[in-house]
Amino acid sequence: MPNLGHDDRKALLQDIGKVESAAGVNGTLELASTMHPCTLSAARLDANPYLLNTVDGTVDLKDGSVRDPWPGDHLSKATVARFDPLARSEEFDRFLEQTQPDPQMRAFLARSLGSALLGVVRDHVLLIWFGRGANGKGTLRDAVAHALGEYAIEVPADLLLQSKHNPHRWAPAKA
């Protein structure tokens, strides 16, 4: 707003105040609800569980193909990582070999983390990583969460605990 004159600046700030008021917000929402090209039910957001939105395209997890993002997919999240099916990281591979020396366990871990990309439950397993500190659990979690970007969420540890006083009381719908 540095190029606006005093009167124009004052008028603009008044307009902003009106729009930010409860009446302004309600009026905007009411108007937007009548604009059918602009309306979208929440159920349509991220509805295809096999599409993964990355910074450089949309990956179809059924076949590994990548295409340009399409607004009609209604994807609301994105990874921070680029998709490169041939990508390797010597540092990450070394980390996994140190923390999981068994090749079968590393393969299981790779499949499990890959399945976590899907928006559907296929394997019906709940991975619980346990052990004393300094064994790689947090490092792996942080690395995966960083790569997944907006797809990664952290839930309270007591989400699955059933207790009368638990604010997150266990419910099948939450699990």
The answer to whether the beta carbons of residues 58 and 69 sit under 8 Å apart is yes
What pLDDT sits at residue 58? 98
31: left (phi over 0), alpha (psi -120 to 50) or beta: alpha
Q: Average of pLDDT values for 132-139?
A: 92
pLDDT at 157 over 90: no
The answer to whether the beta carbons of residues 118 and 49 sit under 8 Å apart is yes
What pLDDT sits at residue 165? 72
pLDDT at 175 over 60: no
Q: Average of pLDDT values for 150-162?
A: 81
Chain-wide mean pLDDT for the chain?
87
What pLDDT sits at residue 170? 54
What pLDDT sits at residue 18? 86
**Residue 52, φ and ψ in degrees, nearest 5:** -120, 120
Count other Cβ atoms within 10 Å, centred on residue 6: 7
Instruction: Tell me what percent of the residues of the chain surpass a pLDDT of 70.
Output: 91
- Which has more confidence, 59 or 123? 59
Separation of alpha carbons 138 and 128, rounded Å: 12
Record the pTM: 0.70
